[in-house]
Amino acid sequence: MERIWGGDQLRRVLGKAVPDGKIIGESWMIADHAEHTSVVKEGPFSGCTLHQLMEKDRIGLLGANAATTGDGRFPLLLKLIDAAEDLSIQVHPDDELAERLGEPDSGKTEMWHVLGMEGDSRILLGLQAGVTREVLEKCLLEGGDVAGFMHSFPVWGGESFFVAAGTAHAIGGGALLAEIQQNSNITYRLYDYNRRDKNGNLRELHVDKGLSALRFEDEEECPAEPLCLETSGALREFLAACRYFAAEKVFPGGGRLYADRGKSFHILLSLEEIITLEGNGGICSLPRGEAALVPASMPDWQVMGQGAYLDYYVPNLYEDIIVPLRQHGYAGHRIAQLGGNSRENDLATEVATKNMHS
């Protein structure tokens, strides 16, 4: 996807084929959206779009934990983001607000994992304590830079950031990220550095909608603290978890077996070197920077190789996140932080509920 702030790390770092003369800021790796849909490369459904697969066997693809979007599409979208310049300071609505405003997509909660960085790249995430709607609105209407009202973090490779709907945020120039998100392309720009598009026009801002979407009462945001456990020789780093998705970084240690048929699909993104997926009599090689979608109906399958990869799926928060982490000795408050610092943290609610009934 062309973006005014795009860079060239997708080509230089990940070896992506980028059209000459195009400024590419996003690569939509796994997508079923009106703006783009992924196409199957290999196997019996080669040439089919993800949307066509959804129409053929929605239940087999999604599993029991996942549900379609309101218009029957795949629930998640995986992007690679290559930012040569700072992105706008922006916010995404939650599901309720998106529906109330008549938006074509759902709300958008997302999570970033830093694949690389160049220069003094930073992440802006969340408003500082004491910033009110009145103060922020005055600054925005006067055309002021609101970055000073936000928490700022240096970007380091391997870090993760959970971005709940309603959280003000911006990706700094020089960052190369993997982003998993709800399948939505709704963004409200609050401030854009007076940047002009290719036609010389100031890019549109969405101050009124953005202020309606913002949450001013949330706790201080910070990079996620991964929680680690070992499963049959594979090291799993839990990076984030909410009702929409969970994210793990997996070091397979030669092999990671999956035996959760029927629960959720898995989206895998290879991070370092070639990994191999084996299952149902088939083999698929996944080079660095490439993604695969494994349907929920797949019988037992495994990932072979030494390279790390990201694993995204739709969890049962109690069975898939809380139980295994508690069994490895993690306290409830540490598990809950995987759901971010929003007051509507799904995981914190689930932890508290289970504590009451334990």
Distance CA 358, CA 354 (A): 6
User: Which pTM value belongs to this model?
Assistant: 0.96
SS3 call for 27 = strand
For the chain, percent of residues with pLDDT exceeding 90: 85
Region 68-73: what's the mean pLDDT? 95
Closest CA to 92 of 103, 83, 80, 81: 103
Q: Rounded to whole angstroms, how far apart are CA atoms 358 and 353? A: 9
Q: What is the pLDDT of residue 358?
A: 53
Exposed, middle or buried: residue 41 (CB in 10 Å: 0-12, 13-18, 19+)?
Answer: exposed
pLDDT at 357 over 90: no
- Which tens digits make up the pLDDT trace of 157-188? 999 999 999 999 999 999 999 999 999 999 99
Say if residue 298's pLDDT is above 60: yes
100 or 342, higher pLDDT: 100
Question: Both tokens of residue 185?
Answer: 């392309």
**Are the C-beta atoms of residues 220 and 120 closer than 8 Å to each other?**
no
Specify the pLDDT at position 208. Answer: 97
Look at residue 11 and give its three-state secondary structure: helix
| Radius of gyration over every alpha carbon of the chain, rounded to an integer in angstroms | 20
pLDDT at 356: 53
pLDDT of 118: 93
- The beta-carbon contacts of 8-17 under 8 Å, at least 24 apart in sequence, are 8/82, 8/84, 9/82, 9/116, 9/118, 9/176, 10/80, 10/82, 10/176, 13/115, 13/116, 13/176, 13/289, 14/80, 14/115, 14/176, 14/288, 14/289, 15/287, 15/288, 15/289, 16/80, 16/289
- pLDDT category, 143, cuts 50, 70, 90? confident
User: What residues form DSSP beta bridges with 282?
Assistant: 279
pLDDT in tens, 219-238: 777 888 999 999 888 999 99
Distance CA 43, CA 66 (A): 24
The mean pLDDT of 39-61, rounded to a whole number, is 93
State residue 43's pLDDT score. 77
- C-alpha torsion 183→43→65→314, nearest 10: -50
pLDDT reported for residue 205: 95
Active site residues: 189
What is the residue-averaged pLDDT of the chain? 94
Q: Which of 349, 109, 154, 128 is nearest to 220 (CA)?
A: 128
pLDDT tens-place string over residues 101-122: 999 999 999 999 999 999 999 9
Q: Which residue type is seen at 174?
A: G
Q: How much is the pLDDT for 233?
A: 85
Q: Taking residues 129-134, what's their average pLDDT?
A: 94
pLDDT of 156 reads: 93
Question: Could you give the domains of the chain?
Answer: 2-213 (2.60.120.10), 227-356 (2.60.120.10)
